[in-house]
Structure 1
Amino acid sequence: MSLFVFVSVLVAAFLHALWNALIKTGTSKMTGMLILTLVQGIVGLAIALTRPWPGADVWVWLLASGLFHSAYKLFLAYAYEQGDLSRVYPIARGTAPMIVTAVSALVLADVIAPMEYAGIFVLGGGIAVMARGAFANGESRRLVPLALGSAMMTAGYSLVDGLGARVAGDAVLFVGWMFALDAVMFTPVCLALRGTAVVFRSRRRDWLLGSLAAVASYGAYAIAVWAMTQAPIALVAALRETSILFAVLIGWLVLGDRMDRAKALAAGLIVLGMVMTRL
């Protein structure tokens, strides 16, 4: 991996942590997530319309992906209403690959290497320590199941997107339509849960933060995909997990999240475990 690609992946990791921080700092987490979704939906539709129309077999995967992505953001928005960035993000980000690895081994018959099993063990320990910290420090206990729900949805769309893009034969087409369908599905859910005020009475600051989060999210995804064409996918995937450390640091140094040894240890174990499962 060249130095330029290395730095680019670190930038992508930072952008992923950044868009989560922007949502967390918004007045309404749900409003910020909805604005992010609408902006990405418009961009996705514009890109999708430049590609051939998807076949009938692709739409099944697209609909499933849209549902998973919408549920993921719903869980994540609720989790950020209950807990700190430095607590929610590592749990949500760290649990997903553990689920994907387990499902891949059981359902897709993928071969799991000893290093990956060791990584899952370390990862699980880090998540357990991080979750325990929420209870030990008197934080809202609801953040844990919500963060885990977000992770389950992440695992779901990771599997669906990977298989769906293969069926489509065009990742750009698949992702474009996925973003568009995500906006179509997520918007009415937000309106039903929070009313029209969630977007129509949102402040200029909410639109700014949501739009910036959308740009950061899209940038993180685009850089990561490009990097995987320039360097081994496993190395890129492992390096991306530094986003957890970025999120913990942003939460601690910028947002004023409480930091203690247990949280720092848990974040370190989660990063180590995720790197081990990807190498």
Structure 2
Amino acid sequence: MTWVLLMLIAAFCQAVKDLCLKRSVAGVDGLAVVWAYCLTTALFIAPFALREGIPQVTPVFWISLACTGPLAVVTFHFYVKSLELSDLSLSAPMLTATPLFLLLTSPLMLGEFPDVMGLVGILTLVAGSYVMNLSRMKHGVFEPFKALVRERGPRYMLLVAFLWSVSANIDKIGLRNSSPLFWITCAFGFTALLLTPLVWRRTHRGFAQVLEAPWYLLATGLLEAVTCIGQMQALTMTIVPYVIAVKRMSAVFAVLLGWLVLREGSVRERLAGAALMVLGVFLIAFLG
């Protein structure tokens, strides 16, 4: 299946992008990081969108764009804060909860819903989140779940997972009423535009600080561009929960990168937990 291959490539790019973002946030204000990330993504995709041609758009396109901009500002803020506050291998796997939230948002927004058997996958997702903090069980049976609530990094990423379950549906509405590449360019460009006055007024060093980590930020834009192109093409081939489910393979890649590159500890339980969560994702996608 072509869409599966596209999303596996997107998942790997997503994990490497998270690594670059984590490296870029050191010493740089989070708002500036998000602004540079969105701007570079739009600039990388824009030439391909222009080559494809500007499509006819409907009023629904403009409504979708007006919704996705402010939502993306909030989402990316918590996304970067999560990467800044906690280990990559602990925060990134929380995004595997997005398909769980999509079981609620997709039926409401798009009328898309997997089979009820996907509930088995949901239970596997919950088990994976438990295993990721299994070493804490010596303090109590429910301690692994409490750890996710207490630690801001994973908690922020769970919020991001929910917000992405909403924005993924908006993405499909937007591309249905334009084209995949044109939609991505407009969505990221509009988000960067909304962030510009915030970076100007709310950061101490303004836009110049992004030059402190230019290569990492350029890499995040390029990797996000590849991820989004694959995702938008896949969304034209199958339903949203399936696409986002396979994309969450990035959880396992993130755990491995956190261990190999950042030397983050507890890799065995985190990798086991991430693997269970991804198994749950596949159960939702292919049995649901």
Post-superposition Cα deviations, 1:243-262, rounded to whole Å, max 9, x if no partner, equal: 11111000011111112443
Give the 5 Å matches for 1:4-43.
9-26=7-24, 27=26, 28=28, 30=30, 31-43=32-44
- C-alpha change, 1:201 and 1:153, in structure 2 (3 Å) is same
Contact kept? 1:95, 1:127, Cα under 8 Å: no
Aligned equivalent of 1:222? 229
Contact 1:29 / 1:78 at 8 angstroms: preserved in 2?
Answer: no
For residues 105-254 of structure 1, the aligned pairs below 5 Å read: 105=107, 108-130=110-132, 133=144, 141-166=151-176, 168-195=177-204, 197-204=205-212, 206-226=213-233, 238-254=245-261
1:73 to 76, 80, 91: 76
Question: What displacement does 1:175 show?
Answer: 2.1
- Which residue does the alignment assign to 1:56? 59
Q: Distance in 1 between matches of 2:247 and 2:78?
A: 22
2:103 maps to which of 96, 101, 104: 101
SS of equivalent residue, structure 1 residue 203:
helix
1:51 match: secondary structure? coil
| Match in the other structure for 2:272 | 265
TM-aligned CA deviation for residue 240 of structure 1: 3.4
Report which stretch shifted further, 147-156 or 13-22: 147-156
The number of residue pairs the alignment matches comes to 272
Deviation at 1:169, TM superposition (A): 4.2
Structure 1 residue 7 displacement after superposition: 6.3
Deviation of 1:42 after TM superposition, in Å, equals 3.3
Indicate if the aligned counterparts of 1:119 and 1:277 stay in contact, CA closer than 8 A: yes
Distance (Å, rounded) in 1 between the aligned partners of 2:159 and 2:239: 30
Q: Does 1:274 align with 2:276?
A: no
Cα 1:47–1:67 shift into 2, 3 Å: farther
Q: 1:266 to 1:209 in 2, by over 3 A?
A: same
Following the alignment from structure 2 to structure 1, what is the Cα–Cα distance between the partners of residues 74 and 226?
A: 22
In structure 2, what is the Cα distance between the partners aligned to 1:238 and 1:103?
Answer: 14
Partner Cα distance (1:223, 1:245) in 2: 19
Moved more, 75-84 or 103-112: 103-112
Cα deviation digits, residues 158-192 of structure 1 (max 9, x gap): 111112322x1423332221121111123333444
Aligned partners of 1:45 and 1:179 also within 8 Å: no
Q: Distance in 1 between matches of 2:114 and 2:209?
A: 50
2:114 is paired with a residue whose SS is coil
Conserved? CA contact 1:35–1:207, under 8 Å: no
Question: Matched residues in 2 for 1:156 and 1:216: separation?
Answer: 22
Matched position secondary structure for 1:201: helix
Counterpart CA distance in 1 for 2:190 and 2:180 is 15
Give how far 1:112 is off: 3.5
Amino acid at match of 2:90: R
Deviations 1:122-175 (A, max 9, x none): 1133234447659659x9711132112211221121111112322x14233322
How big is the shift at 1:54?
3.4
- Structure-2 change in CA distance of 1:64 and 1:225 (3 Å): closer
- Structure 2: tracts of 5 or more residues without a match: 134-142
CA RMSD of aligned residues (A): 3.2
Residue ranges of structure 1 left out of the alignment (5+ in a row): none
Please report the TM-score for the alignment, with normalisation by the length of structure 1.
0.82
Contact 1:9 1:239 in 2 (8 A): yes
- For normalisation by structure 2, the TM-score amounts to 0.80
